[in-house]
């Protein structure tokens, strides 16, 4: 006869159930056998992670338990692209950031690029003859790219702030000049604003890439150089006699831009139209109130003016729309438009926008602003500050996308240190030279901007 099978702890017993103390003993033994054993807990080594909470150990009476001094915490290192902003009063002449991977980083150097206009250039917000621009070089893999910053005091910029911003942006260049998107993102996260400094770095990076690939930048954008419009040349504010002398020097240009915003604007413009038969556009540089703008623009409408730039204050977008509804001359925004983010607010208020590389902070943002303007049905004008042919040639790389050009800063200079895209009589010629197509001008001093 087979022996009786002992039931498992989870089976039902065939014998009569026990009662009293015996039953309690059986239940405790079954629960102990059926309970799954928890895996052993691994003890952490001391000093790793959070200490487990445990009851306080008792210490003998009269004895003192030694206390451990708190461990000093070392602050984490600052991000490579968020350094402290250096003092603008003593900017460093150059900086070579360290690359985390140990590979050579892009090296940045900068130096003053003083420019002098042939005559005092006056507009409604001020007059200047000397301009303190900054020349930027980036070096990597044996190739050098060039850029130029032209700060505008109207936007709160100057040469010292440009140099300080360049030092702050230097670590953001990293080790790969081709990584334009990442570099731009790091610069935006590091320091906002400073369009002139960012523009200089952006054009130097594009110049480096073009030289590295042996191609002009306009080819990298896939543009057609035959679609570049003629550029205008600018006449600043002047009294009638001075205006006559200046007008003698520009009669061969096909397009003329006249600064307004002074008493006698209408009479001055009538005298210009009597002698000059080409296209004329005007720029008030925020000089008027909306009613004054309407009064002056209606008076000059019979002179065949093609467009007017920024007739009212830059923050007065409704004033721009109010003027536009009351005059027949197309209204363009200049000081009211810096980047692509400004385009949507201007749509329906103006006919076009004047984009400048020193305002957008580089070619990439300028291209975004061009596409945004087209999407909102606005015309596009590419303009400039007082710049050499280096910065003008950078903006000219996108000139085939523009309706109107005002890339004439080189014409205002007593000596242009570079030779690039701008030519005589308003011609902008995109060459096949690699990068921005810029070379030192004939007669440039040794050790100069080459």
Cite the annotated binding site for Mg(2+) by residue number. 283, 309, 334
219-440 folds as: TIM Barrel (3.20.20)
Over residues 60-77, the pLDDT tens digits come to: 454 455 555 555 455 444
% of residues, the chain, pLDDT over 70: 76
| pLDDT surpassing 70 at residue 136 | yes
> What is the Cβ-side half-sphere exposure of residue 423, based on CA atoms within 13 angstroms?
11
Please write the tens of the pLDDT for every residue from 312-368. 999 999 999 999 999 999 999 999 999 999 999 999 999 999 999 999 999 999 999
First vs last C-alpha separation in the chain: 111
Contact 140, 106 (CB under 8 A): yes
Residues identified as active-site: 259, 356
H or E stretch covering 266? helix 265-275
| Beta carbons of 270 and 243 less than 8 angstroms apart | no
Mean of per-residue pLDDT scores for the chain: 83
Q: Which pLDDT tens digit goes with each residue over 59-118? A: 445 445 555 555 545 544 444 444 444 444 444 445 444 556 667 899 999 999 999 998
β-bridge mates for residue 108, sequence order: 95, 138
Q: Please enumerate, by residue number, every residue annotated as part of a binding site.
A: 283, 309, 334
Kindly report whether the global pTM for this prediction surpasses the value 0.75. Answer: yes
Most confident option among 96-110, 116-130, 266-280, 413-427: 266-280
Domain-wise residue ranges, the chain: 94-215, 219-440
- Could you give the CA distance from residue 315 to residue 337 in angstroms, rounded to a whole number? 10
Structure-token pair, residue 97? 């950031």
Supply 249's token pair.
């020097």
Domain 94-215, CATH number (from 3.40.50.1580, 3.30.390.10, 1.20.59.10, 3.30.1300.10): 3.30.390.10
Please list, in sequence order, all residues whose beta carbon lies within 8 angstroms of the beta carbon of residue 311, skipping any fewer than 6 positions away. Answer: 284, 286, 287, 288, 290, 293, 297, 320, 323, 331
Q: Which residue has the higher pLDDT, 53 or 239?
A: 239
User: pLDDT tens across 212-223, in order?
Assistant: 999 999 999 999
Which residue's entry shows tokens 């000139």? 399
pLDDT at 1: 46
């Amino acid at each position: 006869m087979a022996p009786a099978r002992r039931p498992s702890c989870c089976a039902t017993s065939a014998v009569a159930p026990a009662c009293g103390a015996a039953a309690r003993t059986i239940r405790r033994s079954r629960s102990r056998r059926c309970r799954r054993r928890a895996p052993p807990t691994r003890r952490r080594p001391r000093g790793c992670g959070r200490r487990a909470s445990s009851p306080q150990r008792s210490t003998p009476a009269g004895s003192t338990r030694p206390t451990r001094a708190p461990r000093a915490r070392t602050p984490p290192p600052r991000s490579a692209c968020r350094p402290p902003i250096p003092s603008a009063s003593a900017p460093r002449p150059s900086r070579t950031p360290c690359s985390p991977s140990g590979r050579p980083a892009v090296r940045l150097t900068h130096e003053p690029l003083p420019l002098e206009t042939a005559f005092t250039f006056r507009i409604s917000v001020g007059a200047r003859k000397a301009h303190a621009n900054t020349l930027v070089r980036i070096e990597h893999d044996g190739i050098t790219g060039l850029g130029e910053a032209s700060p505008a005091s109207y936007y709160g910029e100057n040469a010292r702030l440009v140099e300080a911003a360049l030092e702050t942006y230097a670590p953001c260049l990293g080790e790969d000049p081709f990584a334009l998107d990442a570099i731009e993102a790091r610069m935006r996260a590091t320091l906002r604003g400073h369009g002139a400094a960012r523009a200089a770095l952006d054009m130097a990076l594009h110049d480096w890439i073009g030289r590295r690939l042996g191609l002009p930048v306009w080819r990298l954008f896939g543009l057609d150089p035959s679609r570049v419009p003629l550029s205008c040349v600018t006449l600043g504010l002047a009294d009638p006699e001075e205006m006559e002398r200046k007008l003698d020097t520009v009669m061969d240009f096909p397009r003329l831009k006249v600064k307004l915003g002074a008493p006698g604007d209408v009479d001055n413009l009538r005298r210009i139209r009597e002698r000059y038969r080409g296209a004329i556009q005007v720029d008030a540089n925020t000089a008027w109130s909306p009613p004054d703008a309407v009064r002056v623009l209606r008076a000059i409408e019979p002179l065949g003016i093609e467009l007017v730039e920024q007739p009212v204050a830059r923050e007065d977008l409704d004033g721009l729309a109010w003027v536009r509804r009351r005059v027949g001359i197309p209204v363009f925004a200049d000081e009211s438009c810096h980047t692509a983010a400004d385009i949507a607010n201007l749509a329906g208020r103006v006919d076009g926008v004047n984009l400048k590389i020193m305002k957008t902070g580089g070619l990439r943002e300028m291209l975004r602003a061009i596409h945004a303007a087209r999407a909102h049905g606005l015309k596009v004008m590419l303009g400039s500050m007082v710049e050499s042919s280096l910065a003008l040639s950078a903006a000219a790389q996108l000139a085939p996308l523009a309706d109107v050009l005002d890339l004439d800063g080189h014409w205002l200079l007593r000596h242009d240190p570079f030779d690039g895209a701008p030519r005589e009589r308003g011609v902008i010629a995109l060459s096949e030279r690699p990068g921005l197509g810029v070379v030192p001008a004939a007669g440039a001093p040794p050790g100069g901007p080459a």
